[in-house]
Structure 1
Amino acid sequence: MSYLIGENLTGGYGGMDILNDLTISVDKGEIAVIVGPNGAGKSTAMKALLGMLDLREGQVLLDGKDITNLTPQARVGEGIAFVPQTHNVFTSMTVQENLEMGAFLRRDDIFETMEQIYELFPILKEKRKQAAGELSGGQRQQVAVGRAMMTRPSVLMLDEPTAGVSPIVMDELFDRIIEVKNTGVAVLMVEQNARQALDIADRGYVLVTGRNRFTDTGAALLADPEVRKSFLGG
């Protein structure tokens, strides 16, 4: 059984269902990537796992525990961290202050974790006294991921982490995400850059109209002729 499972998820925002019998899962030390066309329900699936969507059917399990009825805040307390696509840093605060905010609810010594973040993201240590709003887009994303990691999560959820960055910065961010995975964290990511994301994915989900259209390893999806033709540009 995977560490985080959203099973047979069906629901929406009060009108028509956006998710239809959708199943998504990710294990510790693994990257799972959700891809698909615009309007496929990718970010909605993430919100369902976070408890931000009304489900008519289905359940969410974390390490075997049913968390379907927990609030988003309670799910964070259970070890799920989420990095939204936009507005994900405190721009007027320094890099270090952003990281400290990530540990706001902790009552233990946070500086060992902070040093681990600086090892994962060396540029953040270099710029730790600089305002986050002065950083490049890719650097701000590293701050956002670092702040989420300050909660010491077991699951890290990322919504479009490479949106608006250059291909070089995208590759660097993906390298850092692989390093996060290698620490034993379960990483679940929604990504528009499908080909590049599936290249680093242990498992991938191709969504169409809120349903599982294809589910396989990242490598198998990249090699699938139908996936390539319909979703990866040939």
Structure 2
Amino acid sequence: MTSTGAPPFLIGEAMVGGYGGADILNGCTIAVEKGEIAVIVGPNGAGKSTAMKAMFGMLDLRTGGVRLGGEDITRLRPQERVAKGMAFVPQTENVFPSMTVEENLEMGAFLRRDDFSPTMEQVYSLFPVLKDKRRQPAGELSGGQRQQVAVGRALMTEPSVLLLDEPTAGVSPIVMDELFDRIIDVARTGVTVLMVEQNARQALEIADRGYVLVQGANRFTGSGKELLTDPEVRSTFLGG
């Protein structure tokens, strides 16, 4: 619950589940308010990406549930969650390499029946390099530019929630900073952002809320600032 008593805009509550027999998630709860940036961090194998996939419906939960805007969406399939306003950007294979940048963005608007050209202009203003390269196949772009295409394509659905699985994986520190700046810009438009990140320190610096998962359970929860200054979080998860 928030301080006003209202439920969070998006919450995966007491989630338990995994693939096959073993549970990877062991009761973790992830919540984020409208227009906030929430970040899930933790060691490898902690269940970070699994928690995000569970919130997008890519994993059946044994117990626990997911609610969006107060509505129980636990049983909805991923494509049904897209129709409810969720967009998910996987870590890898998140662009169509043989299609141009513009065609990739158009693919993001496949559910829409309205004129999506204003949204495309918004994406181009957010990521100017994509406008310059809009006729180029996405497979020819740098890693950071491909990530921009993937995020841009997700934004073409006009989501209320943007889920990002390790958006800065494999990019240079300069590109990482730029991507984080753009993620801040997205949140300022009112989009709720939930992301999993290996670059924990940098991600927590832009986070309104942070979750440290260990073995599929919440170890620490707080604002990005609180987690950055917590001595135990610093020594155990942020390298001192």
Scaled by the length of structure 2, the TM-score of the pair is 0.96
Does 2:233 match 1:233?
no
Measured after TM superposition, the shift of residue 72 of structure 1 is: 1.0
Question: Matched residues in 1 for 2:195 and 2:61: separation?
Answer: 21
One-letter amino acid of the structure 2 residue matched with residue 141 of structure 1:
Q
Deviates more, 1:214-223 or 1:22-31: 22-31
Does 2:118 match 1:109?
no
Structure 2 unaligned regions, length at least 5: 1-6
Does 2:199 match 1:193?
yes
Question: Matched residues in 2 for 1:53 and 1:71: separation?
Answer: 9
Does 2:146 match 1:146?
no
> Which of 178, 187, 197 is equivalent to 1:172?
178
Structure 1 unaligned regions, length at least 5: none
Cα deviations by residue, 1:40-85 (Å, 9 ceiling, x for unpaired): 0000001110111121111100000000011111011101000000
The runs of 4+ residues in structure 1 deviating greater than 6 Å are none
Contact 1:14 1:54 in 2 (8 A): no
Q: How does 1:1-234 map to 2 (within 5 A)?
A: 1-234=7-240
SS in 2 for 1:173: helix
Cα deviations by residue, 1:106-156 (Å, 9 ceiling, x for unpaired): 111010110011111111111111111111111110000000000000000
Match for residue 4 of structure 2? none
Scaled by the length of structure 1, the TM-score of the pair is 0.99
One-letter amino acid of the structure 2 residue matched with residue 223 of structure 1:
T
Contact 1:138 1:165 in 2 (8 A): yes
SS in 2 for 1:60: strand
What number of residue pairs does the alignment pair up? 234
Measured after TM superposition, the shift of residue 14 of structure 1 is: 2.2
Cα deviations by residue, 1:174-195 (Å, 9 ceiling, x for unpaired): 0011100111000000000000
SS in 2 for 1:81: strand
Question: Matched residues in 2 for 1:78 and 1:157: separation?
Answer: 13
Question: Matched residues in 1 for 2:17 and 2:116: separation?
Answer: 38
One-letter amino acid of the structure 1 residue matched with residue 14 of structure 2:
N
Q: CA RMSD in A?
A: 0.7
Question: Matched residues in 1 for 2:177 and 2:108: separation?
Answer: 25
